[in-house]
Amino acid sequence: PGRLRIAFSSDADVAVDPEIASRVRDVAVLCEQLGHEVEECCPQTQALRELQVVVFAAHMAAQPVSDRSLLDPANAIAAEFGDGISASDYVRAIDGLHAESRGVIAFWDEYDILITPTFPQTAPRIGEMGADPATAGQEHLDWLSFTYPANCTGQPAVSLPLATHSNGLPIGIQLVGPPQGEAVILALSAQLEAAQPWELRPSAGWE
């Protein structure tokens, strides 16, 4: 990929497993060893969270579902919340997402790639997350703290299986590129795979 300007961060508004944060730093060090320019920093994406909640809920409310009791309870709650969103609320949220996204994307004027965890924690056991429908939406957003910003801005991103937690579960490392930057994240992905082949990574405990 040539010499890239790489930013990395494990900062989030939720608790991040220290071991996951450490593995992100390890990948940043590996990138530096591969000749890239590396710095610890990240764009500010917090404002995207509540804006996307409004857009998602409005879309859920607009689905042609005659019997919402058939929906996942968390989606039914989102649809009910969406019923109370006005057209002007929806337009303001869309406009806000566009404005905030432009600010986030400007970060890539100075950097080629951002490295983050894919998720702040390793995978939960089935049934542990979202057990209470009333709080499931916020739990899921917490879980997606590092991934939903790219969904909001439309930037390309990839999750690489570059590490394994001491509990035996895989740790995903996310690379986020600039708009239409698929080529650069794929090139760095290939370089990282060659430097640290993931088929050799320990996989005990995945089951």
Q: Is the pLDDT of residue 203 over 60?
A: no
Residues listed for the chain: 207
46: helix, strand or coil: coil
d(CA 171, CA 188): 18
Q: Is the pLDDT of residue 193 over 70?
A: yes
Q: Is the pLDDT of residue 204 over 70?
A: no
pLDDT tens-digit readout, 63-80 = 999 999 999 998 999 999
Predicted local confidence at residue 17, as pLDDT = 97
d(CA 47, CA 35): 34
d(CA 156, CA 101): 13
Q: Is the pLDDT of residue 206 over 60?
A: no
Predicted local confidence at residue 127, as pLDDT = 86
35: helix, strand or coil: coil
Predicted local confidence at residue 130, as pLDDT = 86
Mean pLDDT over residues 3-12, rounded?
97
pLDDT tens-digit readout, 91-119 = 999 999 999 999 999 999 999 999 999 99
Mean pLDDT over residues 184-198, rounded?
94
Mean pLDDT over residues 178-194, rounded?
97
What is the overall mean pLDDT for the chain?
Answer: 93
